[in-house]
Amino acid sequence: MPETITPELLPGTIQEQESKPKSTFEPGWLVICWNDPINLMEFVTHVFMTIFGWPRQKAEFHMLQVHEQGKSLLVRESMEKAEHYVHQLQRYSLHATMERDE
Amino acid sequence: MRLIRKEEHQCLFYLNGPEQELLFDLLRRYPCIPPAHHNHTRLTPQIASDEAQQLLEESLEEHRTATRRQLQAWLADPKRLHKKGNGYEIAVTFPELEQLLQVLNDIRVGSWVALGEPDEKMHDLPAGKAQNLWSMELAGIFQMRILEAMRS
């Protein structure tokens, strides 16, 4: 005989919906920069500093991550901002993409 | 190409005659990257909607067109170069330097694409591609000169 499951809701509590559709304005998109053998390391650092306003140390950290690990997750943003950053990075001819943060 | 001095809004460079010719010839090659080279997404292609890809391509094309127009005006400006000895002095504002970096990297990456996207050690130069190799290397040298000047 199957076990009966009783909902454990207390009076006065509000049950949140399990799956709420993500708005395109919610930070849920990852901007990723990929390694290639052509972009100069100093140039990539400069681009990160220019686009994201990062200090040199942070920009170099991400540049080295791209160089050594093949890619670096740069920011997690809303869809609009992520698209903006991808466009900015590609204007500098860096290999940048955006992915949904699952 | 060497930095003479860095001022509040610009850098003043000296280029000897051959350097000036090389730089301006190189810049006239812009744009070099094929439009289809850029991809919007990578790991999850189902997200790369046609609309998003089209938006990216349109945005880049608009940017390229505007940059090409500004670059042509920049190269044609007779007041830009000041004869000094065997070479020229040239003043470049910081926004112009930023744009030159984008242009030079487009030329560098586009030349690399034309060479077949070789890895760091290119053992065999494809026939008829010497010009691309030359452009790729030269663009990198000018990029480094500009970056050193901006960082100084």
Domain presence at residue B52: no
Domain containing A87 equals: 37-100
CA A86 to chain B, closest CA, distance in angstroms equals 8
How many distinct structural domains can be found in chain B? 1
pLDDT tens for residues A56-102? Answer: 999 999 999 999 999 999 999 998 899 999 999 999 999 999 888 87
Closest Cβ–Cβ partner in A50, A93, A99 for B98: A50
A53 near B CB under 8 A: no
Domain presence at residue A78: yes
Domain presence at residue B49: no
How many distinct structural domains can be found in chain A? 1
Domain presence at residue B53: no
Domain presence at residue A10: no
Domain presence at residue A26: no
With beta carbons under 8 A apart, name residues in chain A contacting B59: 87
Domain presence at residue B110: yes
CATH at residue A65? 3.30.1390.10
Domain containing B101 equals: 2-37+81-151
Give the best-scoring range by mean pLDDT among B49-63, B66-80, B124-138: B66-80
Instruction: For residues B142-146, give the mean pLDDT.
Output: 97
pLDDT tens for residues B6-43? Answer: 999 999 999 999 999 999 999 999 999 987 776 655 55
Please identify which residue in the block is written with the tokens 């499951």.
A5
A87 near B CB under 8 A: yes
ipTM over 0.95: no
Domain presence at residue A31: no
Q: Which residue of B has its CA nearest to A35?
A: B119
Q: Which residues pair with residue A77 across a beta bridge?
A: A29
Q: What is the pTM of this model?
A: 0.84
Contact check, Cβ <8 Å, A38/B33: no
